[in-house]
Amino acid sequence: MEIDTSSLDEYLDEQGLDGYAVYADSDDSTQRYLSGFDAPDPFFTVYTPEETALLTSGLEYGRATKEARGTVDRTSEYDYQSLREAHESGVARAKLQAAFLDAHGVDSIAVPETFPVGAADGLREEGVALAVDSEGVVDDIRAVKTDEEIEHVREATIANEKSMQACEELLDAAEVRNGTLYHEGEPLTSERVKTEIEVTLLEHGCALDETIVACGTDAADPHDRGSGPLEAGQPIIVDIFPRSKETGYHSDMTRTFVKGDASEAVAEWYELTQEAKRAAFEELEAGATGADVHAAVCDVYEAAGYPTLRDDPSTETGYIHSTGHGVGLDVHEAPSLSPRGGELEAGQIVTIEPGLYDPEHGGVRIEDIAVVTEDGYENFTDYPEQLEV
Amino acid sequence: MEIDTSSLDEYLDEQGLDGYAVYADSDDSTQRYLSGFDAPDPFFTVYTPEETALLTSGLEYGRATKEARGTVDRTSEYDYQSLREAHESGVARAKLQAAFLDAHGVDSIAVPETFPVGAADGLREEGVALAVDSEGVVDDIRAVKTDEEIEHVREATIANEKSMQACEELLDAAEVRNGTLYHEGEPLTSERVKTEIEVTLLEHGCALDETIVACGTDAADPHDRGSGPLEAGQPIIVDIFPRSKETGYHSDMTRTFVKGDASEAVAEWYELTQEAKRAAFEELEAGATGADVHAAVCDVYEAAGYPTLRDDPSTETGYIHSTGHGVGLDVHEAPSLSPRGGELEAGQIVTIEPGLYDPEHGGVRIEDIAVVTEDGYENFTDYPEQLEV
């Protein structure tokens, strides 16, 4: 995949730095993005306007030469074994990385904020000038997707819809006894529904770490993943964010269901949240800011008399999170649709996910995922919004 | 869970530091271990001999007060909103974290090597004395498991064995046509077997990110995860390392299978690897070193004429990795059973995983997981070793 690193070149030029370095395993998405290499142990990558170079162990070398975006050196080329024998391990690693940078003509580097302080201090000790990139210059490059990346997120969204459907069918088929959902004679739990969702995702090439199936008071906390038997008449928030095993790209979607009849309050929350989502999408286009999109949601909720964090920074009920985030190799990445969200660009992929929360009623959230275009957006999510099942 | 932090107290005392700080989400196992809190966004934790204190967003506050090991402050108590309005985001965060440390009487901290350099430089700028713990003092505490943690790994191992069994049954039931394995009329692929394994794990309460099902030349690279149709007569390495969703603790096991008849070379590798595993376990006990255990494996392979990294640091065939690693909240953690592995302690949980690799024949690896005891070990793995299926 060809990525546009011209803004990184400009940044390095402005700062008077030779290169941009990452030391992490490929769970670090900036590492995976810049190196093009997927490995479970930390390795060192340096980007310069001329080349991208990786430094890996002998164990990873063969695969790296085949898969990585750049050239690959192995640690034995820098006599790492002798360095390890002569020095404490952190010092040996710093000397190794400094020698590698020197061999590639790099005396000064920018690193991401998350670069490990142990390695940073070690490189400084070896005389490498190291500056922290507090602007997130690579995060901003990653935020604007290539056509290939857009396709990856679209594919993960299709798998996500299949798993949401499997979830909805399970809720739909459940019986209600004394207010509790039952499936095949057993109480239907949050855990059982998550397994249904996750098995469906595996069968469609996706992995995932966590899924939210939160009912009643669990649903009042946006980060509560939910547990135990599901209850009829209570909102059940289902938030699914899988990662394609093949490409590493994510999708993200939320729906809220009530088995049986929703209370009047929850029905009102649901309609209001649909309205808030429409208002956010109306703002969404290249040139608008993330703050504009977030403000549109706050306007809807505040006009209806609900608290928001904009209105009251200490509120624990009402609208208590931001409106959306970028999605790519990370499930949460730039840009941010929040009070401080900056100008949006075409090619950015974002979620729109308004919601209302209150321990008294639980929570309601609806979330779609879309790519920003010059004159609006394309919504990837093609899943119905129906509260009662 | 009660953890023994006396060595951390000693370390802080020796270094003249007030506390130990972590800034990460709970995917960082040191964060999860010290804070006792599981959250998807980064939060700040400081440990002192007197208390453990967390600093979280309002969104996480309610759950943190219920689940965390320590006291919880929320960012709004330190007027974070105003800091954000007055300063660039990295500076605002540093001022927030410095104010939190000050409120808890902490002027100087140790941090893990992986602490983000952006946050470290920011705190130093605010006058906090920050030293990097290059000894991995918390890693060493984490390496020695409590009875509760041992139980968690044992439970994950049982789930792991069920998934290995599902895999072996699938290989056993496969037909062979023109040298390729078939299942229900389709070529049986690495991907299909991984799905079988991962669905079984989900049904037993485990998640996992990756599984290795590598056949033939794929298996010659210990980190190749494998892909495509499986071939008869070739070694298939199956390495499964699930994480319990409930506890966060991992297990790890590898078996190697051949559908049909193994070649003479692979059969010899298999017997030799069984012998190497036995030799490693004979060394394993409290007071032995990780280096001793690793050397026992090298002795077996070298005596049989195979290259090892000990013998030839640049070899790409033979025994080309270390003998084992600790397993807990991370699938790879301290201690290390490798040339530089230090003295082992009772309560450490480790893998023993010798193997041989060569593109000509593929690879063979066998891996068990065990807890070190005063006079030996207890092997958790109760799964047969049978090469041909």
Cα distance between residue A198 and residue A210, in whole Å: 9
Q: Do A113 and B134 touch (CB under 8 A)?
A: no
**What's the pLDDT tens digit per position in A15-39?**
999 999 999 999 999 999 999 999 9
* Cross-chain Cβ contact A314/B76 below 8 Å: yes
Contacts of B10 (CB under 8 A, 6+ apart): none
Instruction: State residue A59's pLDDT score.
Output: 81
Contact A115 B114 (CB under 8 A): no
Rounded Cα distance, B196 and B203, in Å: 11
Which residues in chain B have their CB less than 8 angstroms from residue A111's CB?
Answer: 117
Give B114's contacts in chain A (Cβ within 8 Å).
116-118
pLDDT digits (tens, 9 = 90+) for B197-231: 999 999 999 987 789 999 998 999 888 899 999 99
What is the distance between the alpha carbons of residues A174 and A184, in angstroms, rounded to a whole number?
8
Q: How far is B375 from chain A (nearest CA, A)?
A: 30
Of A59, A60, A113, the CB nearest to B117: A113
Instruction: Find chain B residues with C-beta within 8 A of A60's C-beta.
Output: 223
Chain centroid, CA B337 distance in Å: 13
Is the CB of B210 less than 8 angstroms away from the CB of A40?
Answer: yes
Residue recorded with tokens 């992995």: A207
* Contact between B63 and A320 using a beta-carbon 8 Å cutoff: no
Contact B164, B368 (CB under 8 A): no
> Among all residues of chain B, which has the CA nearest to that of A318?
B59
- What digits encode the pLDDT tens for the residues B53-110? 999 998 889 899 999 999 999 999 999 989 999 999 999 999 999 999 999 999 999 9
The interface predicted TM-score of the complex, written ipTM, equals 0.91
Q: Which of A117, A203, A316 sits opposite B120 (nearest CB)?
A: A117
**Partners of residue A204 in chain B, C-beta under 8 Å:** none
Question: Which residue of B lies nearest to A75 if distances are taken between CA atoms?
Answer: B314
CB pairs under 8 A between A and B: 125
pLDDT at B139 over 80: yes
Residue A359 is given by DSSP the state T
List, in order of start, the domains of chain B with CATH numbers.
6-142 (3.40.350.10), 144-379 (3.90.230.10)
Of B59, B114, B221, the CB nearest to A223: B59
Nearest CA in chain A to B197: A202
Q: Minimal Cα–Cα distance from A115 to chain B, Å?
A: 5
Instruction: Measure A82 CA to nearest chain B CA, in Å.
Output: 11
> Distances from the Cα of B24 to the Cαs of A41, A131, B43, B112, B130, in angstroms?
18, 21, 6, 11, 16
Sign of the Cα pseudo-torsion (B294, B296, B301, B307, in order)? positive
Q: Are A234 and A258 in contact (CB under 8 A)?
A: yes
The answer to whether the CB of B147 falls within 8 A of the CB of B161 is: no
CB contact under 8 A, B202 and A207: no
| Residues on chain A touching B223 (C-beta within 8 angstroms) | 39-40, 59-60, 63
For residue B126, the distance in angstroms to the closest alpha carbon of chain A comes to 16
Distance, CA of B46 to CA of A311 (rounded, Å): 31
For chain B, percent of residues with pLDDT exceeding 90: 91
Residue A344, φ and ψ in degrees, nearest 5: -90, 150
- The residues, any chain, with a CB within 8 Å of residue A241's CB and separated by 6 or more, are A160, A208, A210, A211, A250, A251, A252, A253, A331
Tally of helices (H runs) and strands (E runs) in chain A = 11, 21
The amino acid at A348:
Q
Task: Using the structure block, give the residue that is written with the tokens 């299909």.
Answer: B192
Q: What residues in A contact B115, CB-CB < 8 Å? A: 116-118
pLDDT tens for residues B252-295? 999 999 999 999 999 999 999 999 999 999 999 999 999 999 99
Sign for the pseudo-dihedral over CA of B51, B52, B57, B59: negative
DSSP letter for each residue of A201-213: HHHTTEE-S-EEE
Asked if B113 and A132 come within 8 Å (Cβ–Cβ), the reply is no
CA nearest A118 in B: which residue? B113
- A84, B340: Cβ pair inside 8 Å? yes
Q: Taking CA A321 as the corner, what is the angle to CA A320 and CA A324, rounded to the nearest 5 degrees?
A: 150
3-class DSSP assignment, residue A38: coil
Each residue's pLDDT, cut to its tens digit, for chain A (389 residues) gives 889 999 999 999 999 999 999 999 999 999 999 999 999 889 999 999 999 999 999 888 989 999 999 999 999 999 998 999 999 999 999 999 999 999 999 999 999 999 999 999 999 999 999 999 999 999 999 999 999 999 999 999 999 999 999 999 999 999 999 999 999 999 999 999 999 999 999 999 998 778 999 999 899 988 889 999 999 999 999 999 999 999 999 999 999 999 999 999 999 999 999 999 999 999 999 999 999 999 999 999 999 999 999 999 889 899 999 999 999 999 999 999 999 999 999 999 999 999 999 999 999 999 999 999 999 999 999 999 999 99
Residue with tokens 């935020």: A143
Model pLDDT, residue B207: 86
Rounded distance between C-alpha atoms, residue A96 and residue A82, angstroms: 10
Rounded to 5°, the CA angle A340-A358-A181 comes to: 125
Chain B residue with CA closest to A93: the answer is B134
Q: What are phi and psi of A356, to 5 degrees?
A: -125, 145
Phi-psi region of B79 (alpha: psi -120 to 50; beta: other; left: phi over 0): left
Identify the residue among B130, B223, B224 best suited for mutation to test binding to A, counting A beta carbons within 10 A and taking the highest. B223
What is the model's pLDDT at position A209? 73
Give the total residue count for chain B: 389
DSSP per-residue string spanning B283-301:
H-STTSBHHHHHHHHHHHH
Q: What tokens were used for A11?
A: 């940044």
CA distance B89 to chain A (A): 9
DSSP symbols for A85-104: HHS-HHHHHHHHHHHHHHHT
Stated as kind and residue range, the H or E segment containing B250 is: none
> Six-digit token pair at A211?
């899924």
Q: Which residues contact B219 (CB under 8 A, 6 or more apart)?
A: B226, B234, B235, B236, B237, B256, B357, B362, B363, B364
Burial tier of A381 (Cβ tally within 10 Å: 0-12, 13-18, 19+) = buried
Rounded Cα distance between A377 and B372, Å, is 57
Token pair for A103: 């061999």
What phi and psi, each to the nearest 5 degrees, are found at residue A112?
A: -70, 160
Percent of chain A with pLDDT over 90: 92
Contact A313 B60 (CB under 8 A): no
